[in-house]
């Protein structure tokens, strides 16, 4: 424990996801001890991100414009939509360079324990996107855990009867984890080996 604001700073970093008490302390002391560290730059950046970054009106990805760079890219195929839970999953899949279609970010996964139902996710927006018949394949790339599976099952029951080709990433992804933790090669292979979901 430290006195006053040093401890406040450590506590604040410790509240961030994935940062334990030791890392929080390390970051705080890095800031204290590094002469070249510019707190103004960091605080301005944080304020700008909170002010300027929003969610793409089409796919829900993070963007500084109304539509994200992927939705605006004419080289991407509008016939395939990959459905993911979070914007960070878009980044993970983009790193594999396996996918040239568009995305749809749900904003989470179905989880009765956490009180998250289908209406809390961007499923209605997905159905709107599918209404004009441009899309012929939907790849469901939810996380390989209970909530991700529940969400995938819910979506397949909606989408398969619509006559769409519905696919799921191949197994081989670390079960119970997040998509973002899979390495690029594994995720790329899971993409390539995706299987068609029946009704
Ligand atoms: Zn977008």
CATH of the domain at 88: 3.40.1360.10
99-141 confidence digits (pLDDT tens): 999 999 999 999 999 899 999 999 999 999 999 999 999 999 9
Integer angstrom CA distances of residue 152 from 36, 83, 145, 157: 48, 9, 10, 9
Cα 163 to ligand 1 centroid, rounded to whole Å: 24
46-57 confidence digits (pLDDT tens): 999 999 999 999
Q: Which domain holds residue 114?
A: 76-168
For 122, phi and psi rounded to 5 degrees? -85, 55
Q: CB count, 10 Å around CB of 80? A: 19
How do strand 54-55 and strand 77-84 relate by DSSP bridges?
unpaired
194 in any annotated domain? no
**What is the rounded CA–CA span in Å between residue 163 and residue 138?**
11
Q: Assign 62 to helix, strand or coil.
A: strand
Cα 73 to ligand 1 centroid, rounded to whole Å: 10
119 in any annotated domain? yes
Cα 74 to ligand 1 centroid, rounded to whole Å: 12
Structural domains counted in the chain? 1
177 in any annotated domain? no
Cα 1 to ligand 1 centroid, rounded to whole Å: 45
Q: What is the pLDDT of residue 193?
A: 83
4 in any annotated domain? no
144 in any annotated domain? yes
Residue 74 region, left (φ>0) first, then alpha (ψ -120 to 50), else beta?
Answer: alpha
Residue 101: beta bridge partners?
A: 77
Cα 102 to ligand 1 centroid, rounded to whole Å: 8
55 in any annotated domain? no
Instruction: Give, for 168, the enclosing helix (H) or strand (E).
Output: strand 165-168
Q: Convert 119-154 into a string of H (helix), E (strand) and C (coil).
A: HHCCHHHHHHHHCCCCCCEEEECCCCCHHHHHHHHH
Cα 94 to ligand 1 centroid, rounded to whole Å: 13
10 in any annotated domain? no
Q: What is the pLDDT of residue 169?
A: 85
Cα 156 to ligand 1 centroid, rounded to whole Å: 22
pTM, entire model: 0.82
Cα 57 to ligand 1 centroid, rounded to whole Å: 7
Residue 182: band (very low, low, confident or very high) from pLDDT cuts 50, 70, 90? confident
**What is the rounded CA–CA span in Å between residue 119 and residue 134?**
24
97 in any annotated domain? yes
Cα 24 to ligand 1 centroid, rounded to whole Å: 34
List the structure tokens of 127: 């159905």
Q: Assign 170 to helix, strand or coil.
A: coil
Asked whether residue 83 carries a pLDDT value surpassing 60, the answer given is yes
């Amino acid at each position: 424990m430290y006195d006053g604001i040093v401890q406040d700073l450590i506590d604040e970093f410790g509240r961030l996801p994935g940062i334990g008490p030791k890392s929080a302390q390390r970051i705080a002391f890095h800031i204290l001890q590094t002469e070249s560290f510019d707190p103004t730059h960091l605080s301005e950046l944080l304020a700008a991100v909170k002010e300027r970054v929003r969610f793409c009106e089409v796919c829900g990805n993070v963007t500084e414009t109304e539509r994200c760079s992927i939705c605006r890219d004419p080289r991407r195929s509008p016939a395939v939509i990959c459905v993911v839970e979070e914007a960070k999953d878009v980044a993970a899949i983009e790193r594999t360079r396996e996918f040239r279609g568009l995305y749809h970010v749900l904003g989470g996964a179905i989880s009765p324990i956490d009180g998250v139902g289908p209406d809390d996710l961007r499923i209605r927006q997905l159905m709107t996107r599918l209404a004009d018949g441009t899309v012929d394949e939907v790849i469901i790339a939810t996380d390989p855990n209970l909530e991700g599976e529940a969400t995938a099952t819910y979506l397949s029951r909606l989408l398969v009867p619509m006559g769409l080709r519905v696919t799921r990433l191949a197994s081989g992804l670390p079960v119970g984890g997040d998509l973002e933790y899979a390495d690029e090669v594994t995720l790329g292979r899971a993409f390539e080996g995706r299987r068609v979901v029946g009704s």
